[in-house]
């Protein structure tokens, strides 16, 4: 998820007691994402940095962790929040695996042949964020986790379909060979709708945060259907916000 655009960081709708762990998770994910995708490092350099990043994550479970000075600002708060909230480390590991996969995702190295392969990637690049948030909200029933996965996968796919004009010139072809954009937009819409009931299970203001994220995603999908995203990236504007807010209220 590019820079975790849909992550509810510092939102006034986010419960105040959950802002520190959410911020810690965000800092971890965004920094690892930047290692995988930003700057002019070689793939080998990126993989090595991600390996070191994974070692820092392992340190979070040590009694006396020895964090790198460069990343102490990330891992000291993360280790504290992992202990306070008993955060499942496996979801953070899955994120790193997805970032490592991003490094080798080039025109010469990889292209998704099937929609199923694309969903496998989303299961590690997007769904762990939702599962971590569900853990923080105290939601663990299987149906809610399934709906969280559907929303997170849909958000990841929306990022792909809106960014075709940016990704394709970089050699990143997320559109699978066994599908086309119209099919993928329909699948993505169905996934988002599948997850909508979760907004009524997430407590308090966080549930309203989720409603807005869902309706914002659906609005982007609508724009993707009405324009050629291979040529231009759709944007949600100020004038779209009243419609998104109304749909969130009615949801």
Looking at the fold, whether 175 and 77 belong to one and the same domain comes out as: no
- Residue 203 reports pLDDT greater than 90: no
Confirm whether 125 is domain-assigned: yes
Residue 190 has which token pair? 């169905």
pLDDT confidence tier of residue 9, bands split at 50, 70 and 90: very low
Of 67, 84, 104, the residue at which a domain comes to its end is 104
Return the exposure string of 45-77: e unless at least 16 CB atoms fall within 10 Å of the residue's CB, then b: ebbebbeebbebbebbeeeeeebeeebeebbeb
Distance CA 192, CA 130 (A): 13
Confirm whether 1 is domain-assigned: no
Residue 227 DSSP code = S
Mean pLDDT of the region 25-42: 92
- What is the residue whose two structure tokens read 């009405």? 226
DSSP string, 37-57: HSSS--HHHHHHHHHHHHHHH
Domain total in the chain: 2
Mean pLDDT of the region 202-218: 90
Distance CA 65, CA 61 (A): 8
- Residue 56 reports pLDDT greater than 50: yes
Looking at the fold, whether 54 and 151 belong to one and the same domain comes out as: no
Of 104, 139, 166, the residue at which a domain comes to its end is 104
Distance CA 72, CA 137 (A): 27
Residue 103 has which token pair? 């490094």
pLDDT confidence tier of residue 196, bands split at 50, 70 and 90: very high
Confirm whether 120 is domain-assigned: yes
Residue 216 has φ and ψ, to the nearest 5°, of -65, -40
Look at residue 113 in the predicted model and tell me its pLDDT: 86
Looking at the fold, whether 127 and 200 belong to one and the same domain comes out as: yes
Look at residue 85 in the predicted model and tell me its pLDDT: 97
Confirm whether 5 is domain-assigned: no
Confirm whether 3 is domain-assigned: no
Angle at the Cα of 213 from the Cα atoms of 179 and 220, rounded to 5 degrees: 45
**What is the domain range of residue 192?**
111-251
Looking at the fold, whether 159 and 36 belong to one and the same domain comes out as: no
- Taking only the tens place, the pLDDT of each residue in 168-193 is 888 788 999 999 999 999 999 999 99
| Whole-model pTM over 0.75 | yes
Looking at the fold, whether 193 and 234 belong to one and the same domain comes out as: yes
Of 87, 104, 121, the residue at which a domain comes to its end is 104
Look at residue 99 in the predicted model and tell me its pLDDT: 93
Query: What's the mean per-residue pLDDT of the chain?
Result: 90
Q: 3, 33 in Cβ contact below 8 A? A: yes
Confirm whether 46 is domain-assigned: yes
- Taking only the tens place, the pLDDT of each residue in 119-154 is 999 999 999 999 999 999 999 999 999 999 999 999
Looking at the fold, whether 64 and 128 belong to one and the same domain comes out as: no
Looking at the fold, whether 144 and 234 belong to one and the same domain comes out as: yes
Looking at the fold, whether 82 and 152 belong to one and the same domain comes out as: no
Mean pLDDT of the region 56-69: 92
Confirm whether 4 is domain-assigned: no
Q: 75, 57 in Cβ contact below 8 A? A: yes
Looking at the fold, whether 137 and 228 belong to one and the same domain comes out as: yes
Looking at the fold, whether 156 and 201 belong to one and the same domain comes out as: yes
CATH for 151: 1.10.600.10
Confirm whether 2 is domain-assigned: no
Looking at the fold, whether 57 and 133 belong to one and the same domain comes out as: no
Distance CA 228, CA 233 (A): 8
Rg (CA), the chain: 18
Looking at the fold, whether 116 and 234 belong to one and the same domain comes out as: yes
Q: What are the Cα distances from residue 246, in Å, to 117, 139, 178?
A: 36, 26, 37
- Taking only the tens place, the pLDDT of each residue in 87-128 is 999 999 999 999 998 888 754 456 788 999 999 999 999 999
């Amino acid at each position: 998820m590019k820079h975790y655009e849909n992550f509810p960081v510092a939102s006034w709708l986010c419960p105040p007691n959950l802002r520190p762990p959410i911020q810690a998770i965000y800092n971890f994910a965004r920094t690892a994402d930047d290692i995988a995708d930003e700057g002019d490092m070689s793939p080998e350099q990126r993989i090595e940095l991600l390996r070191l990043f994974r070692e820092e994550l392992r340190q979070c479970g040590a009694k006396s962790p020895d964090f790198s000075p460069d990343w102490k600002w990330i891992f000291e708060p993360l280790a504290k929040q992992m202990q306070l909230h008993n955060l499942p480390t496996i979801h953070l590991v899955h994120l790193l695996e997805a970032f490592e996969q991003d490094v080798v995702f080039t025109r010469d190295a990889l292209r998704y042949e099937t929609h199923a392969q694309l969903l496998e990637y989303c299961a590690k690049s997007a769904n762990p964020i939702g599962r971590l948030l569900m853990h923080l909200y105290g939601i663990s029933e299987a149906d809610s986790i399934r709906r969280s996965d559907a929303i997170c996968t849909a958000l990841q796919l929306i990022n792909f379909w809106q960014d075709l004009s940016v990704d394709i010139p970089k050699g990143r072809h997320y559109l699978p060979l066994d599908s086309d954009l119209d099919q993928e937009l329909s699948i993505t819409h169905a996934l988002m709708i599948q997850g909508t009931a979760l907004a009524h299970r997430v407590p308090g203001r966080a549930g309203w945060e989720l409603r807005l994220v869902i309706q914002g995603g659906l609005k982007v999908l609508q724009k993707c259907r009405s324009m050629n995203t291979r040529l231009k990236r759709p944007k949600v504007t100020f004038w779209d916000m009243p419609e998104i807010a109304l749909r969130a209220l009615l949801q």
